[in-house]
Amino acid sequence: MLGTSILALVPVALAAESAEGAQAPALVGGALLVVLAVGALVVQRPVLGVLAACVVGALTTVYLTVQHFVAMHGGSSICNISSVINCDAVNTSAASELYGIPIALYGLGVYAALGYLAFRVHAGRTQSAGALLLVGGAVSVLFDVYLAYASYKLGAVCIFCTVSWAMNVIVLVGAVRIFAQSGMSFVDALGKAVADDAGPALVMGLSVFIVGVFVVRSQAAGQAGGAPLADGTAGFREGLFENVRGTLTLDGTEPVRGDPAARYHVVEFADYECPHCGLMSPVLKKFLDQNRDVKLSFKNYPLSMDCNPYMDRKMHPNACGAAAAAECARIQGRFWELSEQMFKNQEYLTPADIVFMAKKVGIDEESFNACVASPAAAEAVRADLEAGVAAKIDGTPAIFVHGLYGDKWVKLNVGPGDGAVLQAVFDAARAGTPLPAPVDPPAWPE
């Protein structure tokens, strides 16, 4: 069974082998060393091995919880190496939250409870807790099977998630050995452990979980800002407003949502297979519905070598076809309808899937198919790509705004968790509260 924890890293290692640069092998190598070290410890000293696995697991869940928050607000993880090795793709997916709370935060509470049980065994205060550890480890591993399946369906791997899964396997292995050493029957040991140890362990796990929820929600509440500072400017997080690296130009073919004469103009570059773009789509739609003086223009920026000559590795295999389909939907006046469907169903963007969605939103199939296959659709996508390169965007979604700083375009560094931030920005602008000066972006890699 211990070998399962090592095998969990095999898909990551295979993906890392094809990734460019030294970052992927270094991360996978470090993860493998940690798993081997903790695995060796649990073989020699089961109780200490379980304690170590809980500590390592807790550290990974803390990182994943923080990174979930960061990614939802436009940040990026250190293990976003490709479309396959991409922690943020997994850590912001539909399976990454339960009741609006990051799954990793639940995991932190579980590790706290399991670690408490292991500590009681280590201190000689109980002989029966091994049975409860066994149950907790087994439930954790079973839940990891579900998460691994969700990751497989997503087509992405999270190194830190995989390390956490390996730690759960190690906890289970250690729990089996701890229970075996107790010499008690499972029923007797579990009954005694429930009576003596379950309550304090539950309190420990819930306490850590509740504190984590409080911290995360406090941080989220503090992201909006907007209140005037002592210097009279509105208070927002540093780096929210950024000067445009290059030049943003529009050719007039962009689909527009909202009043064409709106005071404020938002432009989004997006990729239909980009997880953050999929999460950002309903946020922008809700924002536009509530702010009639803002319009949104959309530009394609598929992250795929199939149509994007500026990509140096394979990423999203269906992104180019989806972009062409969106252009053809625009011609039939159904761009936003098909766009929403594709963002909602990012796992199903094959040509056949897109045709099904197109028919569902009222697009004529025959003319749609002819358009998608035409050079004109590919050329329209290429024009959007060139506009993105001219603006020197560094990822998707890339959000630009006109009207906040007079006639100047600025880049707004927001993510799917920034609905309140968006609202606060435009509320401050309408109130005449000066916004902080945009910062210069990082140097563009040559």
Report d(CA 119, CA 79) in Å as an integer.
Answer: 32
342 phi and psi angles, rounded to 5 deg:
-70, -40
- Quick check: 396 and 269 in contact, CB under 8 A? yes
- CA-wise closest residue to 410 among 389, 441, 376: 441
In this predicted structure, what is the pLDDT of residue 395? 85
- What length is written for the chain? 446
pLDDT over 60 (residue 344): yes
For residue 287, the model assigns a pLDDT of 96
- Non-local (6+) Cβ contacts of 120 within 8 A are 126, 129, 197
Overall average pLDDT of the 209-232 stretch: 73
In the predicted structure, residue 64 carries a pLDDT above the cut 80: yes
Q: For residues 357 and 322, is the Cβ–Cβ distance under 8 A? A: no
227 within 8 A of 234, measured Cβ to Cβ? yes
Q: How does 245-275 read in b/e, with b if 16+ C-beta sit within 10 Å? A: beebeeeeebbbbbeeebebbbbbbbbbbbb
Residues 6+ apart with CB under 8 A from 14: none
Q: Which CATH class is domain 241-430?
A: alpha beta
- How far does the chain reach from its first CA to its final CA, in angstroms? 48
What percent of the chain has pLDDT above 70?
A: 88
Contact predicate 410/440, CB 8 Å? no
CA 354 to chain centre: 24
Q: Which CATH class is domain 2-221?
A: mainly alpha
Same fold, 2-221 and 241-430: no
In this predicted structure, the answer to whether residue 6 has a pLDDT above a threshold of 50 is no
Q: Which helix (H) or strand (E) holds 398?
A: strand 398-403
pLDDT of residue 99: 84
Q: What would the pLDDT profile of 164-218 be if each residue is shown by its tens digit? A: 999 999 999 999 999 998 888 999 989 998 999 999 999 999 999 999 988 877 7
> What tokens were used for 371?
């358009």
Place of tokens 């090592």: 6
List the Cα angle 313/301/426 in 5-degree steps. 135
Question: Contact 376/230 with Cβ under 8 angstroms?
Answer: no
The answer to whether the CB of 350 falls within 8 A of the CB of 318 is: yes
Domain residue ranges of the chain, discontinuous segments joined by +: 2-221, 241-430
CB atoms within 10 A of CB 366: 7
Instruction: Identify the bridge partners of residue 270 per DSSP, sorted by sequence position.
Output: 300
Question: Under 8 Å CB-to-CB from 287, ≥6 apart: which residues?
Answer: 294, 419, 422, 423
pLDDT class of 2 with cuts at 50, 70, 90: very low
**Residue 223 pLDDT grade (very low, low, confident, very high; cuts 50, 70, 90):** low
Report d(CA 101, CA 81) in Å as an integer: 26
Torsion of CA 300, 306, 312, 313, to 10 degrees: 110
Instruction: Judge whether 310 and 389 are in contact, CB under 8 Å.
Output: yes
**Sign of the C-alpha dihedral, residues 156, 159, 162, 168?**
negative
pLDDT score for 26? 76
